[in-house]
Amino acid sequence: MLVLTVVASLAIGARSLAPLDVWHALTGADAGAGAGAADSAVAVVRQLRLPRAALGLLVGVALGLAGALMQALTRNPLADPGLLGVNAGAAAAVVTAIAFLGVSDLSGYIWFAFVGAALVTVAVWAVAGGGTATPAGLALSGTAVTAVLYAYVTAVQLLDTASLDRMRFWTAGSLAAARPGTATLVLPFVAAGVLLTAVLARTLNVLALGDDAARALGTSPVRVRAAAAVAVVLLCGAATAACGPIVFLGLLVPHLVRPLTGPDLRWLLAFCAVLAPVLLLGADVLGRVVARPGELQVGVVTAVVGGGCFLAVVRRRRA
């Protein structure tokens, strides 16, 4: 499925390309053949669609892992970076940087996104009660903080018309701004988050038994949660800085994966890292197809499709 969605992302758009043309563009088989359709296909694939697909892969991995981590960390099946305010914190920080500090590229966005995600993570944890926070308290405080931050983002967009055009596609969640160097900027942060997640997977399985059982087995719940929060900030900060806040992906993917893997987080996280990019790239391709010759932003598509799919999952679980 992942291979097919990557191929579709490279081949489908305002101008559709045959798989053979995509292959030639990637391998350089037609390079130097002179001006014409072959050279045009090379430019479309290498300059536009390949960076977009690479960014979609990284962002999908980041959001899928972050959603599974948040649900394991809070023992709440409704937890995801969007519901707990992490994406909103990163979005508010980036919008502030655009509107008031004149930051205009990803190399600047990414640091503001990390700061915003980290501050909101701490704020939600504190509002929910700190060390005594319950899963329900975290969800409620995250929802409240998210509402406040997105109201702030909307207000800034309305008041600063000069920055509105730069912010409106970013705040909708989009892969369209990807350029050849975008994935390279995001990769180190996503890789660090993935590595930390892999190290924590076995320990989080122990933590799922309860804090008392974890302590009896030699695990410190506070340290594990702190390390998992750092991983979530790395993953969500990088993803949100690169393409804006994308909702429902981190919430939905673990629910789709659990019937295949069971509760073991080592398998759950691995499958989420593969399925989330499939859904994100699939939503991106769908957005290009339904609104030709324009396109719907991927954040809009994931919100519509993901919301419907999540309602179906909830109804099935109740049944």
- The residue assigned the tokens 């806040």 is 245
pLDDT value of position 154: 85
CB contact set of 162 (below 8 Å; sequence gap of 6+): none
Exposed/middle/buried for residue 166 (C-beta within 10 Å: 0-12, 13-18, 19+): middle
Rounded mean pLDDT for each run of 10 residues along the chain, 319 residues in total: 93 83 76 55 85 94 93 79 80 86 79 88 82 71 88 84 69 82 90 94 85 81 84 88 85 90 91 95 92 84 82 72
Is residue 295 classed as helix, strand or coil in its secondary structure?
Answer: coil
pLDDT value of position 173: 81
pLDDT value of position 79: 76
pTM of the model: 0.87
Token readout for 199 is 């190290």
Cα distances (angstroms) measured from residue 93 to each of 100, 109, 241, 270: 10, 8, 10, 30
Domains and CATH numbers, the chain: 2-318 (1.10.3470.10)
